[in-house]
Chains A and B, each alone.
Chain A
Amino acid sequence: MVVKVENLLKKYKNVTAVNNLSLEIKEGEIFGILGPNGSGKTTTINCILSLLKYESGNIELFGEKMKPEAYEIKRKIGAVMQEVAVFDELTVYENIDYFCGLYIKNINEKKDLVEEAMEFVKIKDYRKRYPKELSGGLLRRLNIACGISHKPKLIIFDEPTVGVDPQSRNYILEGIQKLNSSGATIIYTSHYMEEVEQICTRIGIVDKGSIIALGSKEELKNKLEFNKRLIIENSKVSEEEIAEIQKIPFVISAKYDNGKIFISLSKSDINVLTILEYLKDRNIEFGSIQSEVPTLNDVFLKFTGKKLRD
C-alpha cells in the first residue's frame, strides 16, 4: 500500500474540514479525489504531506508513518500544488534545477533529470525564460516539472488545471497518464469530474470532509439506478402522458421540463425503441433525441442531493 489514511480528523477552530476520512491507495493507481470547492480535498492532501497538524487519525506512506521530519519518505514524493510555486527571479532551467536539487545531490544525475523533466513537459525551448515571460499554460507545465523532476514514486497533483486553457489541460492530463505508466502512483484532486473520469483508475468522492463514495468509475456508476438518460425535444406533452411513460418497463423516471422530456432508463438498449413507439402511437411530436450515459455528477447528486458545481 502506498498511501493509507485512517480516520483522519482535521478541524479549523470549530469547523471540521476533514471528518474521519479513511482511504487506501495501491501502487500504480491514479487515485482521484473529487469534490466541490471547500469539500476538504486540499486539507486532506496537506495532512498527507505533513504540512498540517491534524486532530486525530493515522497516515502511512510506503508503509511508514508520515511525519514532518520523515525525510526518507519525502524523498519518494513529488507534489504539484494548486498555486504555481516557482521563483520569479530564476529561469525555467534554474527553477527545475533548484527543486530537483532539494532531492538529488549528484550533479550529473540532477542535470539529466532536469533535462528529462523539461522534455517531459515540453518546455525545453523556454529554458532561459523567466516565469513572468511564460503564458499561464507554460507556467503550469513549469510548476509540474518542478514537482516531478526527481522522479518520485508518489506524485500528488492538487487541482493542477485550475485556470488552464483546454489545450494545456489535455497536455497535463496526458502527462499524468504517462507518469503513471512509467510507474508512479498518482493522487489527483479536482472539482472537474470530466478530468477525474478521464484519467483516474479509482475515485473517492468527497463532501464535507468525508468520502461519500469510493471505487472505480464503473463501480460508482453502478451505484446509480439508471444507466442511460434520454432527452427528447417536444413542444407539448400532458401530465397523463408523462405518467404513462413512467409505467413503461425499465423506465425509472420521466419528467417534462422546458420543452424537453427527461427519461431515465435502467436497461437502455431495449426500451429506447419502446419509448419511441409509444410516442408514435400517441401521435406525440418530437424533435431531436439525445442519449446520455450517467456521470460522476449523477453519483454526487445521488449521495448528496446536490450537483457537484452547486
Chain B
Amino acid sequence: MQVFKTYHKIIKRKFLSIAILLVAYLGLSLLYSHSDLTSDVNSFTDIEVEIAFLNEDMTNENNTELVEGMKSYLSQHAEIVTVVDNREDIQNALFSNEIQAAIRIPYGFTKKFFKDNSLTIEQMSKPDSLEAFYVQSHINKFLNKAKIYASYMDEDDQAQIVERVKDDLSKYINVEVHGDSNVLLEVTRNMINHYNFLGLYLLFSIVSGVGMSMMVFNKPEIIKRNNISSLSISNRNFQLFLGNISYVLFCWGLGMLISIVFFRHQFSLPKTILFSINALCFAITCLSIGFLIGKNVRNKNTFNSLVAIIILSMTFIGGLFIPLELMSSKIIKVAQFTPIYWYIKANDNIQNLDIVSSDYLIPIGWQILTVCAFGIGIFAFTFIISKVKYSRFHSQ
C-alpha cells in the first residue's frame, strides 16, 4: 500500500495550509449558523405602545360606557399618556416619540355607533407607523365585536354589550399538540444554516485536499517513474482511489461529528440520517471536482485560483450566502447547474420534513440523487480526458 500511505503523508504535509482556511471557513459557518438569515418568526411578544386618548364624546363630563370600555381594553395593550389637547402639542409629542399615536373620539360617536351611522375615529400618527396600525387593529377588534353584539342583542344596553365584548376579548384558548411517532422534531434555522455551511467546508477541504494530492501524483516525471516501476497502473489507481475515499470519509465524518455535537439538543435520528446522506453525496461530488482539477492542472497558482473561483462562484450562486428565495429566477436557473444548489435544496426540504412518508421523502431523494449525478458526470468527464491524455502520452 505504498501509494496509499504516501497519499496520506502528502495530505498531512498539505494539511496545514488546508487547516488555516478550514478554521476560517468553519468560523464563518458557525457565525452564519448562529445568525438567522431568514425572517422566520418562532415566538410572539406583545408590544406596548404609548398613545394619547382624547375623548370628545362625553355625557355629564364622563366617558360613555362604550368609549370607557374601549379605553380600558386599549390600556391593556398600550400605555395611555396624557397630552395637552392641542394640534401642535400632539404633533410635538409624536415627533419626540412621547407617543406613537393619538386617538380622538369625535362628539356623538357612541350615539351614531349604535344607530349604525358610521363616524370615523380620528387617529394621528407618523406616516407608515407600525405602532399606529397595531393600535388601529385593537380598536377595530373591539368595535367590530361591539357592533356584532349591538346588532344581535337588541335587549342589551350599552354597559352589557361592553361587558360581553370585554369578556370575549379576555378569553384565551390553550392548544396542545399531541406527538405522533411519525412527527419529527422541528430543527431550527441555526441547524439548517450549519448543515448548509457544512457544504462549504466539504467543498473547500475536499476539493483542495484531493486536488493538491492528485496534482502531486500527476506530475509528468512522477507518472513516468511510476510507469517504469513494477507496480501495475490498476493497483496504483486503486490505492489512490482508497486514499481519496478515506480522506473524503474523514472530512465528512469530522463535519458530521461537529454538527451532532453542536446540535445535540435538536438531535432527530431520521433527519440526521438524511442530512448525513446528503452531505456524503455532496462530499463525493466534491471529490469528483477535486479529482478533475488535480488531474488536469499542473501549476500550483493556477490550482489555487481555480479552486477559489469554483468555490466562491458555486457558493454565491448556489444559495449559501444569499437565500434562494431572494434570488432572481434567472440566477436560480444558473444555480441549478451547480451541485450545491441541490444540496441546499435537499437540506431545506429535510428541515421542513414533519412526517416520514414517501410523499416527503421522494423529492428529497431526487435532490440527493441530482447531487450524486453531478459527481458521476464529473468523474466520467475526468476519465474521458485521462484516457485521451494517456493515449497521447504513449504516442508522443
The reply to whether B2 and A98 form a contact with Cβ atoms under 8 Å apart is yes
Question: A interface, by DSSP: helix, strand, loop or mixed?
Answer: loop
The reply to whether B230 and A75 form a contact with Cβ atoms under 8 Å apart is yes
Contacts of A12 in B (CB 8 A): 396
Contacts of B230 in A (CB 8 A): 71-72, 74-75, 102-103
* A74 to B226 CA separation, bound complex (whole angstroms): 11
Interface residues of A in 92-139 (CB under 8 A from B): 94, 98-99, 101-103
* A85 to B219 CA separation, bound complex (whole angstroms): 9
A277 in contact (CB, < 8 A): no
Question: B interface, by DSSP: helix, strand, loop or mixed?
Answer: helix
* A271 to B216 CA separation, bound complex (whole angstroms): 63
The reply to whether A51 and B394 form a contact with Cβ atoms under 8 Å apart is yes
The reply to whether A102 and B224 form a contact with Cβ atoms under 8 Å apart is no
Given A83-B221, A89-B216: A69 in contact with B226 (beta carbons within 8 A): no
Number of A interface residues in the complex (CB < 8 A): 29
* A78 to B396 CA separation, bound complex (whole angstroms): 22
B164 in contact (CB, < 8 A): no
Interface residues of B in 187-225 (CB under 8 A from A): 216, 219, 221-222, 224-225
Question: Taking the nearest CB of chain B, how far is it from the CB of A50, in angstroms?
Answer: 8
The reply to whether B216 and A49 form a contact with Cβ atoms under 8 Å apart is no
* Nearest neighbor of B13 in chain A, beta-carbon distance: A89
Interface residues of A in 137-184 (CB under 8 A from B): 146-147
Of the residues A52, A77, A89, A101, contact of B228 by C-beta under 8 Å: A77
Interface residues of A in 233-255 (CB under 8 A from B): none
Contacts of A87 in B (CB 8 A): 6, 10, 216, 222
* A53 to B224 CA separation, bound complex (whole angstroms): 14
B384 in contact (CB, < 8 A): no
The reply to whether A85 and B6 form a contact with Cβ atoms under 8 Å apart is no
A79 in contact (CB, < 8 A): yes
A81 in contact (CB, < 8 A): yes
The reply to whether B232 and A99 form a contact with Cβ atoms under 8 Å apart is no
The reply to whether B221 and A81 form a contact with Cβ atoms under 8 Å apart is yes
* A94 to B2 CA separation, bound complex (whole angstroms): 11
B229 in contact (CB, < 8 A): yes
* Nearest neighbor of B1 in chain A, beta-carbon distance: A101
A38 in contact (CB, < 8 A): no
Of the residues A69, A85, A94, contact of B224 by C-beta under 8 Å: A85
Question: Taking the nearest CB of chain A, how far is it from the CB of B238, in angstroms?
Answer: 14
The reply to whether A89 and B10 form a contact with Cβ atoms under 8 Å apart is yes
The reply to whether A84 and B221 form a contact with Cβ atoms under 8 Å apart is yes
Contacts of A215 in B (CB 8 A): none
The reply to whether B396 and A146 form a contact with Cβ atoms under 8 Å apart is no
A90 in contact (CB, < 8 A): yes
B14 in contact (CB, < 8 A): yes
* A102 to B225 CA separation, bound complex (whole angstroms): 10
A57 in contact (CB, < 8 A): no
* Nearest neighbor of B12 in chain A, beta-carbon distance: A89
Contacts of B60 in A (CB 8 A): none
B231 in contact (CB, < 8 A): yes
The reply to whether B10 and A90 form a contact with Cβ atoms under 8 Å apart is yes
Question: Taking the nearest CB of chain A, how far is it from the CB of B4, in angstroms?
Answer: 11
B112 in contact (CB, < 8 A): no
The reply to whether A51 and B221 form a contact with Cβ atoms under 8 Å apart is no
B305 in contact (CB, < 8 A): no
* A81 to B220 CA separation, bound complex (whole angstroms): 12
B227 in contact (CB, < 8 A): yes
Of the residues B14, B224, B229, contact of A103 by C-beta under 8 Å: B229
* A53 to B229 CA separation, bound complex (whole angstroms): 17
The reply to whether A85 and B221 form a contact with Cβ atoms under 8 Å apart is yes
* A98 to B396 CA separation, bound complex (whole angstroms): 28
The reply to whether B224 and A51 form a contact with Cβ atoms under 8 Å apart is yes
B9 in contact (CB, < 8 A): yes
Contacts of A49 in B (CB 8 A): 227-228
The reply to whether A81 and B216 form a contact with Cβ atoms under 8 Å apart is no
* Nearest neighbor of B396 in chain A, beta-carbon distance: A12
Given A71-B232, A74-B229: A98 in contact with B6 (beta carbons within 8 A): yes
A63 in contact (CB, < 8 A): no
B395 in contact (CB, < 8 A): yes
A68 in contact (CB, < 8 A): yes
Contacts of A77 in B (CB 8 A): 228
Given A84-B221, A146-B225: A52 in contact with B2 (beta carbons within 8 A): no
The reply to whether B396 and A52 form a contact with Cβ atoms under 8 Å apart is yes
Task: Pull 11 A–B residue pairs with CB atoms less than 8 Å apart, ordered by A.
Answer: A49-B228, A69-B232, A74-B228, A74-B230, A83-B221, A84-B221, A87-B222, A89-B14, A89-B216, A90-B6, A102-B231
Q: Which 8 A-B pairs have the closest CB atoms?
A: A85-B221, A101-B2, A102-B229, A75-B230, A74-B230, A85-B225, A89-B13, A71-B230
Q: Which residues of chain A have a CB within 8 Å of any CB of chain B?
A: 12, 49, 51-53, 68-69, 71-72, 74-75, 77, 79, 81, 83-85, 87-90, 94, 98-99, 101-103, 146-147
Beyond A49-B228, A84-B221, A103-B230, list 13 extra A-B contacts (CB 8 Å). Answer: A12-B396, A52-B395, A52-B396, A68-B394, A71-B232, A74-B228, A74-B229, A77-B228, A87-B6, A90-B6, A90-B9, A90-B13, A147-B225
